[in-house]
Amino acid sequence: MRKLDKILYPESVALIGASEKEGSVGNELLKRITEFKYNGKLYPINPKHSSIMGIKCYAKITDVVDEIDLAIIAVPAKFVSGVIDECHLAQVHNVIIISSGFKEIGGEGIELEEKLKNQIEKYNMTLVGPNCLGVFNADGKLNFDGCFGPTIPEVGTIGFATQSGALAGGVFNISKSARIGFSQMVSLGNQTDVDALSVLEQWENDDNVAQILLYLESIKDPEKFRKLATKIATKKPILAIKAGRSSAGAKAAASHTGSLAGTDSYFEGLLKSCGVVREFSLREMFNDAKVLGNCPLPKGKRLAIITNAGGPGIIATDTASDYKLEVNTFSSELQEKLKTLTLPQASVKNPVDLVASASMEHYTNVCEEVLKSDEVDMLLVIYLYITGKHDMDILKSLEQLKKKYPTKPIIISYMTTPDFFERVKTEMPNSTIPLFDDVQDAVRGFKLLCDRKEFLDGIKQKTPIFEVKNDVVDKILKQAEKEARTLLTTKESLEIFKAYGLLMPKFESALTLAQAEKAIKKVGFPCVLKISSKTVSHKTDFGGVVVGIKNKADFIENFNMLLNKCREAKIEKSLDGIIVMEQVKGSSRELVAGVAPVGEKGHQMMFGIGGIFVEALKEVAFRPCPLTMRDVDALVSSTKAKNIMGEVRGKKAVDINVVKDSLLRLSQLVSDYKNIKELDVNPFMIDDEGRFLTVDARIVMK
């Protein structure tokens, strides 16, 4: 049995705090349960009444002799603890606490919630809430609306889990106008026990839930979320709004649910890595849900656009280009066929402009010819009501074509009279083609479908495991631990990266001039000198780096200068060497990679444009560790860093596979050694020959 079975599919429910008072939570809950025609047994609990709304009422839950699957608690927070004890005596193991006044208000509320958590664990109960709206299940055999929201939602196939109960009520209010329907909803509240992970586990194999929508303000266990969400996303789409993106939003999230929002860059990468569609508004979420719920995935990115007005067709083409979709000119053969089906003044290249006077027959015949063609993967139909009003007839025709060509997604953008969408509900309630009034929303739907196909295709890629020299790393880390150091030296960090197969310029280390002279014979000119110290983290700020050394005299002078500088700063004993490194030719192309901790368990990989302007430019991307092949593909392609990795003014392009391998090796290092807290490679340099070289390194241990 799944954790939430008796909460979402209860055969008997006790409503503790049921009330006759209009507008009270206990009264609204009772109304919702009865109005949705709940098919199980219902037991209102209130010591002041013998019956409420014609239903027998009990003073205490222990007075009910029958077995109770679920207790819904809607009493003031200060009484909840006593009610939980009574539920335990009545052998009730599943509870929903609607009541607010817990950790979300701070102070005494935190203590009340801690006590509640201890009770739930002691009694081995499953708890949804507190501070939540309730749950909803539209299963026709059950019909359970255990929410106190004002509206019964449109019924459909969406599962919705939310940390904001009020948002759930609002979503239910607008579900009919948004033309989306819900099969189940769980309002998570403070997530004292049941959280988003619990709901994902519940819905993974529930056939009544075809896609999952989430509103999240925090994720308790990012690592577990990643594994679970990735697995589920291969079976059904997951769409999520992760709130708290801004610093102000993060504070609001904390005060609202008592949960701290994580670093947004991490969550952005986390959701993308899982194949979860991150949404930034309810409008986007509902639009995407309509598309994913009603369209097949395309075989490719070739989009055909059929319109009766040039402007919207051009906007659609530009938007498609922004999304890397292909609006290719049709072949001469296809164009000739289309000319026989259109008015003489029509343009048939793609977009196909049927012109304002086009009839329903023109639309139908052209759309069918395009759908038949092996030049097209997706079809966007744009209709403006200009002369004859054909909106409903065209929709009916396209619904028939959808059945005839079920493997190609069709999306419609209608700019017609305001009553159209209401007419669709009346005349075509079973219409499944996604309808939009904004052509850009429609094109975004095709991008979403292509992204999901890429995710499902990419999930099959295996991440390589590299052969490395663990003995080298073990020796270095044991020595640092012995000396109680968390900061490794530059020399130690470079040696670890070299042991993990990262490519580097030639380098040696020296503590004396005699050693340095031997080192330069191996490295050659031009060279770079940089100190490697157990106490100095940022060498450049200290003045511990010298570049562009071209001859022996300058080399000796600068080596002695760095030694003297360390003596004067009294850090000579902390030196484990001065690095003598080959200077990279054409070092203007700099990239950065790093791994940083997030929370107690998570790490994220950063990659992008490096150098001294990394903070200013912020041309970096993030993905959670350990990296997958999909993650590393995204890291190297999602910022302007990809532009400097190609051929630039005669300088050779870097081998992208070497870049990807380098990032995967860093990810493997962090996975192999859990005591690494963070690391940086700033910069990676691309030389004129296209070599991708690790030039500087920094590792910090926990």
Give the tens place of pLDDT for each residue, 217-258: 888 888 899 999 999 999 999 999 988 765 554 444 443 323
Q: Which of 321-325, 494-498, 568-572 has the lowest mean pLDDT?
A: 568-572
Residue 234's CB is within 10 A of a number of other CB atoms, namely: 12
User: Average of pLDDT values for 32-50?
Assistant: 96
What pLDDT score does 654 carry?
Answer: 93
CA–CA dist 95, 14 (Å, integer): 9
CATH number among 3.40.50.261, 3.40.50.2300, 3.40.50.620, 3.30.9.60, domain 296-458: 3.40.50.261
Residue in the structure block whose two tokens are 């949804």? 128
φ/ψ of residue 134, rounded to 5:
120, -160
What pLDDT score does 253 carry?
Answer: 44
- By residue count, the chain amounts to 702
pLDDT level of residue 520 (50, 70, 90 thresholds): very high
What the block records as the tokens of 83 is 């009610």
97 strand-pairing partners: 73
φ/ψ of residue 285, rounded to 5:
-60, -45
The identity of residue 64, as a single letter, is: V
User: Average of pLDDT values for 653-659?
Assistant: 94
CA–CA dist 253, 244 (Å, integer): 6
| 442 has a pLDDT exceeding 90 | yes
- Contact (CB, 8 A) for 610 and 683: yes
User: Average of pLDDT values for 637-647?
Assistant: 88
Residue 418's CB is within 10 A of a number of other CB atoms, namely: 7
Per-residue model confidence as pLDDT tens digits over 264-295 = 778 888 999 999 999 998 889 999 999 999 99
Percentage with pLDDT > 90 across the chain: 77
CA–CA dist 26, 7 (Å, integer): 18
What the block records as the tokens of 614 is 């990394």
Q: Which of 22-36, 99-113, 239-253, 508-522 has the lowest mean pLDDT?
A: 239-253
Per-residue model confidence as pLDDT tens digits over 448-467 = 999 999 999 988 888 999 99
CATH number among 3.40.50.300, 3.40.50.720, 3.30.70.980, 3.40.50.261, domain 5-291: 3.40.50.261
Give residues with Cβ within 8 angstroms of 42, minimum separation 6.
Answer: 12, 13, 15, 33, 34, 55
- Annotation: CATH topology of 589-701: D-amino Acid Aminotransferase; Chain A, domain 1 (3.30.470)
What pLDDT score does 585 carry?
Answer: 83
**Helix, strand, or coil (residue 537):** coil
Domain locations in the chain as residue ranges: 5-291, 296-458, 470-582, 589-701
577 strand-pairing partners: 532
What pLDDT score does 187 carry?
Answer: 96
Taking alpha carbons only, the member of 656, 667, 665 closest to residue 605 is 667
Please, what is the average pLDDT of the chain? 92
User: Average of pLDDT values for 406-434?
Assistant: 92
Per-residue model confidence as pLDDT tens digits over 149-197 = 878 888 999 999 999 888 888 888 888 778 889 999 999 999 999 999 9
User: Average of pLDDT values for 593-610?
Assistant: 83
What pLDDT score does 255 carry?
Answer: 34
φ/ψ of residue 520, rounded to 5:
-65, -25
Give residues with Cβ within 8 angstroms of 219, minimum separation 6.
Answer: 196, 225, 262, 267, 270
What the block records as the tokens of 596 is 């940083």
- Planar angle of CA 377, 291, 321, nearest 5 degrees: 50
What pLDDT score does 261 carry?
Answer: 33
The 3-state DSSP composition of the chain as helix, strand, coil percent (nearest 5) reads 40, 20, 35
CA–CA dist 423, 268 (Å, integer): 39
| 259 has a pLDDT exceeding 70 | no
CA–CA dist 96, 105 (Å, integer): 19
Q: Say if 5-291 and 296-458 have the same CATH topology.
A: yes
- Contact (CB, 8 A) for 614 and 639: no
What pLDDT score does 392 carry?
Answer: 94
Alpha helices in 549-638 (DSSP H): 552-568, 614-617, 629-637
CATH number among 3.40.50.300, 3.40.50.720, 3.30.1490.20, 3.40.50.970, domain 470-582: 3.30.1490.20
Give residues with Cβ within 8 angstroms of 484, minimum separation 6.
Answer: none
What pLDDT score does 618 carry?
Answer: 76
- Planar angle of CA 473, 475, 477, nearest 5 degrees: 70
Per-residue model confidence as pLDDT tens digits over 101-110 = 999 999 999 9
Per DSSP, the residues of 656-691 read: HHHHHHHHHHHHHHHHH-TTEEEEEEEEEEE-TT--
CA–CA dist 208, 184 (Å, integer): 8
Burial class (CB in 10 A: 0-12, 13-18, 19+), 674: exposed
Task: Enter the DSSP assignment of 61.
Answer: G
Q: Which of 197-211, 240-254, 360-374, 409-423 has the lowest mean pLDDT?
A: 240-254
Cα 573 to chain centroid, rounded: 48
What pLDDT score does 263 carry?
Answer: 61
Percentage with pLDDT > 70 across the chain: 96
CA–CA dist 53, 25 (Å, integer): 15
Per-residue model confidence as pLDDT tens digits over 343-353 = 999 999 999 99
User: Average of pLDDT values for 556-563?
Assistant: 95
**Helix, strand, or coil (residue 389):** coil
